[in-house]
Structure 1
Amino acid sequence: MKNRREEIRNYSKNINLLYVEDDVVSQEYTLKFLSPMFENIILANNGEDGFNKFLHNKVDIVITDINMPKLNGIEMIKKIQNENRNCYFIILSQHDESDIFLQSINLNVDGYILKPFSFDELLNSLEKVIEKFKLEYEAKNHKYYIEQYLNLMDQSNIISKTDTEGIITYVNDSFCKISGYKREEVIGKKHNITRHHENPNELYEEMWHTLKVKEESWEGVIKNQSKSGSTYYVRTIITPIKNIKNEIVEYFVVRDNLNTVVDDKKFLFEKIEENELSILVVLQIDEFDMLDKFYNASTVEKVEKNFAFQLLSYLPKEYSFVNVYSVGNGSFALLTEFEDFNKSELSLEKYLNDFVENVKKSNLEFEDMEFDLNITVSYAIGKYMLYEDAKEGLENALKQKTKVSFSNDSSIIASKEAKENLEMIKTVKIALDNFNIVSYFQPIINNKTKEVEKYESLVRLIDENGEILSPFHFLNISKKGSYYNKITQRVLENSFKILKTINTKLSINISAVDIENEQTRTQIFTLLEQHKGEANRIIFELLEDENVQDFEVIKDFIREIKSKGVQIAIDDFGAGYSNFERILEFSPDILKIDGSLVKNIEKDPFSRNIVETIVLFAQKQNIETIAEYVENETIFNILNEIGVDYSQGYYFGKPEELEQRNK
Structure 2
Amino acid sequence: MSTIRQSPPNQPLTLLYLESDATARTAAKTLFLSRFETLYTAENVEQAHLLYEEHRLEIDVIVTELSFPHASGIDLIRWVREQNTFVTIVALCARGDTAFIPQALELNVDGFLFKPFTQEQLFSTLDHLLEKIYLRYENTQNALLLKQYIDITNASSIISKTDPNGFITFVNDKFCQITGYRPDELLGQQHNIIRHPDMPKSAFKDLWATIKAKKTWQGVVKNRAKNGDPYYVKTTVQPILNANGEIEEFISLRHDITAIMSDKKQLFDYLSANALSVLILIQIEDYTVLEKFYDKGSVEKIEQTFGKTLLYLMPNPWGFQRIYHLENGLYAFAIDRRSCRADKEEIHAVLEQFLANVKEHVVKIDTIEYDISVICSYTYGIFKVFEDAKIGIEQAIATKQPIVYADGLSGIEYDNALKNIETIHTIKTAIDTGNILSYFQPIVDNHTRKITKYESLVRLVNEGGQLLTPYFFLEVAKKGRYYSKITKIVLDNSFAALLKIPDAAISINLSLHDIEREEIIRHIFQLLDRYPEQTSRIVFELLESEDIRDIAHIQRFIQNVKQRGVKIAIDDFGTGYSNFERMLSYEPDILKIDGSLIRNIDTNEVNRNIVETIVLFAQKQRLETVAEFVENEAIYRIVTDLGVDYSQGYHFGRPELF
Q: TM-score, normalised by structure 2?
A: 0.42
Larger radius of gyration between Structure 1 and Structure 2: 1
TM-score between the two structures when normalised by the length of structure 1: 0.42
